[in-house]
Structure 1
Amino acid sequence: MPDTARSVADRPGSFSIPLSVPRRIVCDLVHFAHKVPTVPVQRVVDVSRIASLREALPARVGWCALFTKAYALVAREVPELRRAYLAHPWARLYQHADSIASVAVERQFGREAGVFFAHLPRPDATPLPELEAALRWHKETPVPTAFGFALRFYRVPRPLRRFLWWYLLNVRGSRKAEFLGTFGVSVYSGLGAESLHPLSPLTTTLNYGVIGPDGRVPVRVVYDHRALDGGTVARALGRLEEVLNGEIHRELVALSERGARALDAA
């Protein structure tokens, strides 16, 4: 190394930082996500009907809960969205009976912000207030309580941890769903930004951008091309818009009417 480069690298204030648990989570995820041939498909969705209705609800229901439940309802109809590619001991697809959403949640851990994953079983069958409460619990409960398993798992030495990741991703379909979920949700539109191609080892990952003043929003699904094709994903996005303006809209109307009756009774 040239003397000038060495002098810059060795300046006071330069030092090595051990990988924290949140950084280990992301490093493992990216390591295995890079092995998955993913492709993004995008559709602009009109959510203006539910945007105004959502604002009038007596209790807040976030967009993440709405999109997560809507996508799970689509996955109930479209079995390809509940399948996972497994490579060993022979190449095959494993179809899950139900969906488990894996929602990325940013939490403060020590002195840094880190990404953890909230696992929500059967979001298609969960009432929106309960789904919102589950997401809020993962966002507000102390990290050791909400993500205790992750904290323990990511203190396992890396060779053993990576072997367990490989085994779950390639051999055991049922355990893969329990450990990772069947689809991902990764969103930071609340910060005014969006990811164009989030990395994930899951078959599909749902992502949406900032909702415009006209109620239109870009929604994309990043999918594993080994498990399904783009046409299936494109049709699923069209069905997602119908579900948001159909089943989800009707549930929001029912919640609004229930809130109005509660106010009248009070």
Structure 2
Amino acid sequence: MGDLSAASRAVPRFLIRGKLSIPRARAARAALPAPRPPWTTLFAKAFAMTAQQHAPLRRVHASLPWPHLIEAPHAQGCVMVEAREGEETLLAPARLFRAHDAPLPDLAQRLAAVKSSPREASAALRWMLMAGRLPWPLRRAGYALAMGLGWPVLRLGGNYAISVLGEHGVDVMDSVSIVPVFLSFGPIAPDGGVTVHFAMDHRVLDGSDAIRAMAAMQEALEGPIADELAALDAPPPRD
């Protein structure tokens, strides 16, 4: 984590906060029996759907051989989950590929797999553990090279990260991260109001991108994602 903290200082981030109103999504999720899809998966899917419509949200910055942007065909998410391995507790990155068209139960299963079997389910964790055994000058150089090339960041970390702490009723405004977008959300109020925080790489995005992202995420949560949640609660069709 120390190496990641040092690398993150090279990312010029700006912070922005907004309020979403998602009463329909809240009601549809509350109607489901436990275990319900985590709120983290709902916000991850909403952001991924938004990124399909707004290409800048799928980009990462690279400085080698000269400064340029790399655009992915779809948003690639990363969620840091607390996992147990024997008697040890660790943070493991769960990657969410193609979250924009993945069913919510599938996204929830991906998080659960990393929580229960972090080494087997998380290639990014295996890479981090392997890199952690190298001398610190090589680790720092490796992070610098990955950020310079851009594509290793996209491959191992994705182009957006999302916090799971909103599930526990707390607000997180920023995090140690080298990906272009860090997204967090606070407690979901009874009326469906929720505060959303973005920390964004200013080399890739600006405030107008964040404003558009919030508006589109609210539409996704209140529209297709609420519809998907309602369908999960629907009785099976009769023969």
The TM-score with structure 1 as length reference comes to 0.82
Partners of 1:192 and 1:54 in 2: CA distance: 16
Query: Which of residues 17, 31, 40 is equivalent to 2:15?
Result: 40
Please tell me whether residue 152 in structure 1 is matched to residue 130 in structure 2.
yes
Question: Does the CA contact (< 8 Å) of 1:66 and 1:248 recur in 2?
Answer: yes
> Which consecutive residues of structure 2, in runs of 5 or more, have no partner in the other structure?
none
**Aligned-residue offset at 1:230:** 0.6
**Aligned-residue offset at 1:111:** 6.0
1:1-266 to structure 2, matched below 5 A, reads 26-58=1-33, 60-108=36-84, 113-141=89-117, 143-146=118-121, 147-171=125-149, 173-257=150-234, 260-261=235-236
**Aligned-residue offset at 1:36:** 0.7
Q: Which structure: larger Rg?
A: 1
Give me the CA root mean square deviation: 1.9
AA in 2 matched with 1:42:
R
> Which consecutive residues of structure 1, in runs of 5 or more, have no partner in the other structure?
1-25
AA in 2 matched with 1:231:
S
Taking only the aligned residue pairs, the percentage that are identical comes to 32
Deviates more, 1:39-48 or 1:69-78: 39-48
Question: Does the CA contact (< 8 Å) of 1:103 and 1:119 recur in 2?
Answer: yes
AA in 1 matched with 2:110:
A
AA in 2 matched with 1:238:
A
Q: Deviations over 1:191-219 (max 9, x none)?
A: 33221222311111110011112221101
Question: Does the CA contact (< 8 Å) of 1:37 and 1:224 recur in 2?
Answer: yes
Deviates more, 1:118-127 or 1:69-78: 118-127
The TM-score with structure 2 as length reference comes to 0.91
Give the match for residue 19 of structure 1.
none
AA in 1 matched with 2:208:
G
Q: Deviations over 1:92-113 (max 9, x none)?
A: 1111112211101122457664
Partners of 1:66 and 1:231 in 2: CA distance: 23
The 3-state SS of whatever aligns with 1:261 is coil
Figure out how many residues of one structure are paired with residues of the other and give that number.
Answer: 235
Question: Does the CA contact (< 8 Å) of 1:204 and 1:224 recur in 2?
Answer: yes
Partners of 1:185 and 1:218 in 2: CA distance: 14
**Aligned-residue offset at 1:34:** 1.0
AA in 2 matched with 1:182:
N
